[in-house]
Structure 1
């Protein structure tokens, strides 16, 4: 069923056609909804394919990793791309310019195609025909290294090139200049003997590819016990367990999700070594695509030594109360599988920690418990551990994220009300509201995605849906492009999420936060019952940097974060400041509508309806 809106004419799914009764498949596709849009996800069974549609052979479609519907569409787009055809009568026309400043989104219904696009299976990396296919690709705007595999020294971290001032690191990205990977980390390095002799680990995450994850551990640690903390249920849980059957050293811990539409979105590693204990809080899922050509971030703790035998439980606490907050977060799972880890953490000295923990756990909280989680925890810390600045209303707030939830019909419902009050808090004397403070939201435009290293499939990690977008057009006036020349990652789409408060000239930061939490009420929480109750749907985790914990008044912004200098005191903001506002032609990336008017860096277009068809075919395999 086609629908009209300010975004042009678009089609959600072939099965929405009122005149077609879809067949009853032997097994219904079970696509995990997007982390921020479970309520709005499109889970439909496509109608029978007309003869004019491309033939899709199930044996040509490789199984996607566990993940959201958008990510599965991205995986299938890469496996079976639809090539761009530049003809005088294109298969898919674009709507004429509208009054919405560039919101003339593509339509698959404007005109019947003269011939259906051909689905061309992507060759595997080991295929002898690969070089021939690459020769036919368009010249890469990212340089000759774009199509190459990782170089032999890609996984060799240079510890001397890593800055331990903030312990904030970006991931390594394939296809960019080598200097922009110095001081960055890959998962293989994080799990390597370079950081400790591993005895056991826990992996908290949203998406898992277990066979791939196991291969990231070095051979000498590959059989060490691993606990996977996840939020899967029913069929998706069964598939996850099935993935782990060949690995006897893996066990599971299911996070309780008692509130509808919540997800287990936390991304954390607990690593227990012979030498001590370490915590990694990151933004990457446990799948290959998240460690390949995306911009991700992580905080790596120091190596925490074991406390002397008989030390009290309060020993080894940091000035930021990180140990207390980490234990409280783990207890919130109410999981017997984590009890042993809670005891281990008690036995270690975490006093060297200089960041604050910001977590979200599902529930409805009242009284003092309201300030334990989500954005009210952030507000409490900003109130207690920052100081007011002169002309504070001129210090902009910057939010950068990879997914967007529903925030209401206008900005006063949540964003410009309780959430903005939190983000603009500086010291106890902060005003109850700062409506004049600039709020700048950094989110990739369609052109950012199209010209990225991955091309359109990068949009599978940016699951902003048309159903949500059309209800909050007011939000899009806040949007700024993703531009990251300072880190050499403008072409590596962000899956990192960061929030900060900057000086008017963007040379100083009042605070900085890296987290798993996207821009949504489910992640950050929302006030209820006349502001007497806080409701949070999801598990999230991040780390807050406050200058007072580093004996500074503000953080200077590092102008050149690569190559990394161990002596630098500037904070390595991973994208360019000041952010660049969308032009009149820019559109925010929306994952579940087609983009067919221009090819991406692989010469392909994006047709999500076709991806649903491919998912259906794959499920029948």
Structure 2
């Protein structure tokens, strides 16, 4: 079976789902394959890649060190370094497709991809076509055929304007502490109230003494430069999940910075990843927690839509005080329990610091995932059952709730099974539709927002944005049923349409899309590895990865529902409206739309930089 659109054709097999036997989320298969941006070459010339003087990152690290992380991210970096302009001749596209069989893909998973690295390294390497030695003539053609300058100039990353990093307290969202990231290339008003990492670490928010950075992907040199000069030598602890070669590279990259220390997260279940993204910031004035969706690399803070929750500045408790500093949402307890799962001596001092601070102003609930198999009361502590428990305990049924849609938005998709009853409806959708202690099991509409090929093609980054959307053909071809739930990533009213999402959000919204019953921002994508899957006749839940997010419930804000802020930009003052980062109502895929599949070719139309996408 095959599907065809204006963006090309991809083959679909009828293979059965083999979810339990496939390497899940975070399996990084090392191979020499890369994805490049390229196009058909002019007639009567050989097919060549064009290399342009483009800086993948503005930092002092080597190119290889910038590629730490998933194969998808390596692909995106390679795309930026080796693009080729779009041509109308089909010659190169045809040759490339013969070299890489259509639909064969790479079977390489990102930190966000789940259960689908079903081709082993040996198989992949055997399928790599042997490269012919480059000739002097080909080298000359690289210069002659060099693409025109992109909209961003001759370097991929452009310098932000002088006022890009200016933050002022009046524009901050004091109601929810929920922010989007700043995006280079947008009108200034669409960055009003948004934050860049330099804003977060600026002296405006406190006199920093030490910090911890939890994340999946790091560029250490770039990270260090984001700290203001006066804080740049303050101790930083990196909590990561890298092993073997990736860990060795991270250790090497941290060596020039004696104030940077490393802490490896224990991943006791195969193929799990450390996908949590959190900052712990200890100031002279107090303590702050930030839970976010961005990796610690420049690409994630440049032209992608990301989100974060920033806590209030937590003051230190007076010595001898009987006040525990706990919040009504038990955020302090839950954060300490989450950190304890690392079993890391490096975090013990930080846990003690948290105990010494007053977190009582926190109004969000913590939702974490940690690797393990949990039974009994522990099943409600982690993953989607944690979300279900909170919705059961702290929300109330809504009249006609079966008409209140559930909206999920994410940047990667795992293997869901051969139909929706295997996990999506049986477990996850039941969690998302829980409202209070009602026995009613409503079946409201489920809208899943995931970028189409056209969304990626017309984005600010163009096709390289797809390197952070690692939905593979191997997964997609086994769950075509899932695509009927898909809706376009669209954000016209926010003015941020063309910044592809890496943010992950889940929510329950009113039929007229004016109110929220609840809202969650998290590092967890649509995967069993991230949210957990029930086992042993629903008496046990198995979670593979570390994830972290926060849940906003109206009851914690003395509201019945959250009003949705329709036009959040520019931000001028605190608002009671919740700034949903995409347009509502969602727009479903048309018959011509295809979900972005990152390991197949797109040669029918150029992206915003005049390039096409061909895995090779």
| 1:22 match | none
Q: Given the superposition, is the C-alpha separation of residues 206 and 139 from structure 1 closer, same or farther in structure 2, using an over 3 Å criterion?
A: closer
**Separation in 1 of the partners of 2:608 and 2:141?**
17
| 2:269 match | 259
Question: Bigger CA drift: 206-215 or 482-491?
Answer: 482-491
Q: Deviations over 1:47-90 (max 9, x none)?
A: 9xxx9663799999943331210111111110111221113656
**Separation in 2 of the partners of 1:444 and 1:182?**
25
Contact 1:229–1:254 at 8 Å: present in 2 too?
yes
| 1:566 match | 573
Contact 1:500–1:513 at 8 Å: present in 2 too?
yes
Unaligned stretches of 5+ in structure 1? 13-33, 96-103, 110-115, 124-131, 610-621
| 2:85 match | 83
Aligned pair 1:510/2:512, yes or no? no
**Separation in 1 of the partners of 2:229 and 2:507?**
40
Q: Given the superposition, is the C-alpha separation of residues 341 and 93 from structure 1 closer, same or farther in structure 2, using an over 3 Å criterion?
A: same
**Separation in 1 of the partners of 2:141 and 2:490?**
32
Unaligned stretches of 5+ in structure 2? 13-21, 35-44, 57-62, 107-126, 128-134
Q: 2:48 aligns with which of 43, 49, 54?
A: 54
SS at match of 1:269: strand
| 1:319 match | 328
TM-score between the two structures when normalised by the length of structure 2: 0.84
**Separation in 2 of the partners of 1:540 and 1:121?**
47
Q: Given the superposition, is the C-alpha separation of residues 284 and 408 from structure 1 closer, same or farther in structure 2, using an over 3 Å criterion?
A: same
Aligned pair 1:500/2:500, yes or no? no
- Give how far 1:565 is off: 3.5
Q: 1:354 aligns with which of 333, 356, 363?
A: 363
TM alignment of 1:268-417, pairs within 5 A: 268-312=278-322, 315-417=324-426
Contact 1:198–1:274 at 8 Å: present in 2 too?
yes
Q: Given the superposition, is the C-alpha separation of residues 89 and 228 from structure 1 closer, same or farther in structure 2, using an over 3 Å criterion?
A: closer
Contact 1:403–1:464 at 8 Å: present in 2 too?
yes
**Separation in 1 of the partners of 2:24 and 2:563?**
33
SS at match of 2:165: coil
SS at match of 2:211: strand
**Separation in 2 of the partners of 1:544 and 1:250?**
31
**Separation in 2 of the partners of 1:176 and 1:122?**
32
CA RMSD of aligned residues (A): 3.3
**Separation in 2 of the partners of 1:211 and 1:430?**
53
TM alignment of 1:66-81, pairs within 5 A: 66-81=68-83
Aligned pair 1:229/2:239, yes or no? yes
Aligned pair 1:579/2:581, yes or no? no
TM alignment of 1:529-548, pairs within 5 A: 529-548=536-555
| 2:15 match | none
Q: 1:429 aligns with which of 426, 438, 458?
A: 438
- Give how far 1:94 is off: 12
**Separation in 2 of the partners of 1:293 and 1:139?**
13
TM-score between the two structures when normalised by the length of structure 1: 0.83
**Separation in 1 of the partners of 2:503 and 2:269?**
25
- Give how far 1:44 is off: 3.9
Q: Deviations over 1:260-295 (max 9, x none)?
A: 111000000000000000000000000000000000
**Separation in 2 of the partners of 1:560 and 1:370?**
39
**Separation in 2 of the partners of 1:57 and 1:604?**
12
**Separation in 1 of the partners of 2:480 and 2:83?**
31
**Separation in 2 of the partners of 1:170 and 1:478?**
25
Contact 1:35–1:265 at 8 Å: present in 2 too?
no
Q: Given the superposition, is the C-alpha separation of residues 90 and 227 from structure 1 closer, same or farther in structure 2, using an over 3 Å criterion?
A: closer
